[in-house]
Chains A and B, each alone.
Chain A
């Protein structure tokens, strides 16, 4: 045993642990399946009759598939797996009974979730793009970059929100699925007021503003700065709330 003095230590031990948890669990495989959904649609488009233009197809794919369903579901699965499972099996006690701030625990968890989610979602989006564009970069490269950047902000906002959710309720995965399917996929598409309260709306706003292409449109997109600021503020607030929740909750 040793004294408790400070020196060089492995950085980000909780994030590293979480990445190893992901590597040995089923969650990443399920998320990879979700991330592959755009690829499957791309293949269907490729072998189909191509009645729709390539760029228009990619735009539809992002707005009707990736943004409303793939993003929230994939991030939800990782986020609830990162914290909720540890609370359920009580391994969380090995993290919280340490001189580590709760904010640091949540931030490292968010970092791990964001790293894996971004990697898988980007892979799915890039492969789908290449399939639809038949391997050519094409003149729609800016649209691809817009999708990828929008996905990063979605990962941060959804990641923090779903980490918080997994600390608030024991059936976070179920609640998150209902949220993703009902709120983000269904209500926010048809009810104008709800649209402004959905993460999806701001993710799509970032995508549309960055793409800056006449084919890439949506109703009443936010300005780029306000959409980015809204998602970042949401991510920060949810992270702080998750740290507060972890500090005050009973871990029995």
Chain B
């Protein structure tokens, strides 16, 4: 992927350079609004083969952008071209494009194999059964492929959707939060798969709201915040700027007081706030840290030393939003 200016604020339309010849996805002045509410505002970028992350907090406009890229949603304004063709209204384009939607719903009465085969049939493949088998093998779901998807875990549903999107070996793959619900082992394998697809010259655009996850598979990044392209370009350059800003992380654990006492001894922890239990969830800690990447490595080790069970480590979205706002200000 090559971004207009990397990293920078979103360029003005006049400053938007022509997309290079190998750009597979070209977006120009894309906007989407619903009445007075602007979901995406004048976004321009282009993407080349490789893995690109679409990063932003929940509600930033990532899914809306992806839905417009797939042609599910008509832009209010602007233009999208995928492989040189309009993204909407050309069904033959879907021979070359795969989509992993965010929603979990599948046809509950189908088995995983039947679902992936259905996608292969609808893609008009020569041998749908063989293609489905290979796609299921790619996501390591063969052992459970003949069970109805109604009994699948969230992670298995994600892998089923990914197999369905890969079944026709698309040149462009759009994935909306594909790692949601996967366990750490599945996540690591899916990240390897995404990277492998990028290495094979596929154009993979992956949306995520989790920064530390994105850095494991994406070389390039598009940061979307409040519907605007906040930053775009090389992942590492943008990440370094984001890391300059303190961020908040939520921990849920078996003994928050004990863990908090240990965490405050760590130089990178700036503050710790207790959070009450929420529903069935364990009590939590909201930790503000000056080095979030180091914190993600340190927190499990500290918890283990203190004999505290760690149930959840997650970036606080509002914190991420403030980081993106910070990136824009610093741009």
> Using an 8 Å CB-CB cutoff, how does the interface string of B95-114 with A read, 1 for contact, 0 for none?
10101010101111110000
One of B44-52, B126-134, B203-211, B222-230 at the interface: B126-134
Q: For B89, give the chain A residue with the smallest CB separation.
A: A247
**Of B70, B74, B106, B126, which is within 8 A of A3 by CB?**
B126
Q: In the assembled complex, which residues on chain B have CB atoms less than 8 Å from the CB atom of A14? A: 122
Number of A-B contacts (CB under 8 A): 108
Q: For A247, give the chain B residue with the smallest CB separation.
A: B89
A1-39: which residues lie under 8 A (CB-CB) from chain B?
A: 1-7, 9-10, 13-14, 17, 20-21, 23-24
Q: For B138, give the chain A residue with the smallest CB separation.
A: A1
CA distance A250 to B124 in the complex (A): 24
CA distance A61 to B155 in the complex (A): 54
Contact B164 A99 (CB under 8 A): no
> Using an 8 Å CB-CB cutoff, how does the interface string of A217-252 with B read, 1 for contact, 0 for none?
000000000000000000000000000000110111
Q: For A8, give the chain B residue with the smallest CB separation.
A: B126
How big is the B interface, by class?
A: 35 or more
Q: How far is the CB of B111 from chain A (nearest CB, A)?
A: 11
Contact B73 A6 (CB under 8 A): no
Q: In the assembled complex, which residues on chain A have CB atoms less than 8 Å from the CB atom of B94? A: 97-99
Q: In the assembled complex, which residues on chain A have CB atoms less than 8 Å from the CB atom of B109? A: 20-21, 23-24
Contact B91 A99 (CB under 8 A): yes
Contact B73 A89 (CB under 8 A): no
Q: How far is the CB of B137 from chain A (nearest CB, A)?
A: 10
One of B77-85, B165-173, B242-250, B300-308 at the interface: B165-173
Q: B313 near A: Cβ within 8 Å?
A: no
Q: In the assembled complex, which residues on chain B have CB atoms less than 8 Å from the CB atom of A96? A: 72
Q: For B102, give the chain A residue with the smallest CB separation.
A: A90
Best-surrounded residue of B119, B121, B134, B167 (most CB of chain A within 10 A): B121
Q: How far is the CB of A216 from chain B (nearest CB, A)?
A: 43
Contact B67 A252 (CB under 8 A): yes
Q: Is the interface of A mostly helix, strand, loop or mixed?
A: loop
Q: In the assembled complex, which residues on chain B have CB atoms less than 8 Å from the CB atom of A91? A: 105-107
Known contacts A17-B107, A250-B73: A99-B118 contact under CB 8 Å: no
Q: For A14, give the chain B residue with the smallest CB separation.
A: B122
Known contacts A1-B167, A2-B169, A93-B101: A13-B106 contact under CB 8 Å: no
**Of B103, B106, B110, B134, which is within 8 A of A1 by CB?**
B134
Contact B125 A4 (CB under 8 A): yes
Known contacts A2-B168, A10-B121: A97-B73 contact under CB 8 Å: no
Contact A97 B134 (CB under 8 A): no
Q: A213 near B: Cβ within 8 Å?
A: no
Q: For A102, give the chain B residue with the smallest CB separation.
A: B91
A58-110: which residues lie under 8 A (CB-CB) from chain B?
A: 89-91, 93-102
CA distance A157 to B56 in the complex (A): 48
Contact B122 A251 (CB under 8 A): no
Q: In the assembled complex, which residues on chain A have CB atoms less than 8 Å from the CB atom of B91? A: 98-102
Q: B143 near A: Cβ within 8 Å?
A: no
Contact B126 A7 (CB under 8 A): yes
Contact A90 B103 (CB under 8 A): yes
Contact A2 B73 (CB under 8 A): no
Q: B186 near A: Cβ within 8 Å?
A: no
CA distance A178 to B13 in the complex (A): 50
Residues in B lying within 8 Å of A, measured CB to CB = 67, 70-74, 89, 91-95, 97, 99, 101, 103, 105-110, 118-128, 130-131, 134-135, 138, 164, 166-169
5 contacts between A and B (CB under 8 A): A24-B108, A97-B70, A98-B122, A98-B123, A102-B91
